[in-house]
Amino acid sequence: ARRVPGATLLDDQHAARTVVTRAAVPDERTDKGYLFRLIAAERADKAMQPFLFTAKRGEITAGGLRHPGQEFVHVLSGTVDYRVGATTWTLAAGDSLYFDSDEEHDVVPVSETATWLAIFHHPPAVANRRQNTDKTEATWARKRPRISRPRS
């Protein structure tokens, strides 16, 4: 057992920075048919978002996905066909794939059941551009001249 000082256990800042996700956390089903478990859901300021996915052959609704950032996939069990753009890779347990997730991608289980870890990451540059754009738009909205229209 690891020894942790009592003060550390009571420190709210430490608790927010370290999150344990237990195996007993139930999976949820997506509209595409995957079961997923959000890992470290309690941590609000994550630089990456890890998920555990499980899918059964024949139960997945086809259709590509796109989202900003990058994605890392590591197959834990079974076999999947993972398509990114026009290329499809067959990945088995122990295989990994890393790609820009703004390119259309999709996954289909080849084996009866497959489980994989997917980690989504939004690079700081993307987040900063988004925040700067929001700030610029908000500033522009405040400085925008009011246009008076003549009354009829």
pLDDT digits (tens, 9 = 90+) for 3-15: 554 444 444 545 5
Instruction: Let me know: does 40 contact 60? Beta carbons within 8 Å.
Output: no
DSSP-derived pairing of the beta strands 87-92 and 105-109: unpaired
Per-residue pLDDT of 47-92, as tens digits, reads: 899 999 999 999 999 889 999 999 999 999 999 999 999 999 999 9
pLDDT at residue 3, as a whole number: 52
**CATH number of domain containing 32:** 2.60.120.10
- Per DSSP, helices labelled H in 11-98 are 12-17
Per-residue pLDDT of 106-143, as tens digits, reads: 999 999 999 999 999 987 765 555 455 444 444 434 43
Residue 122 lies in domain? 25-139
In a domain, 76, yes or no: yes
Statement: the pTM of the whole predicted model exceeds 0.85: no
State the total domains in the chain: 1
pLDDT at residue 26, as a whole number: 82
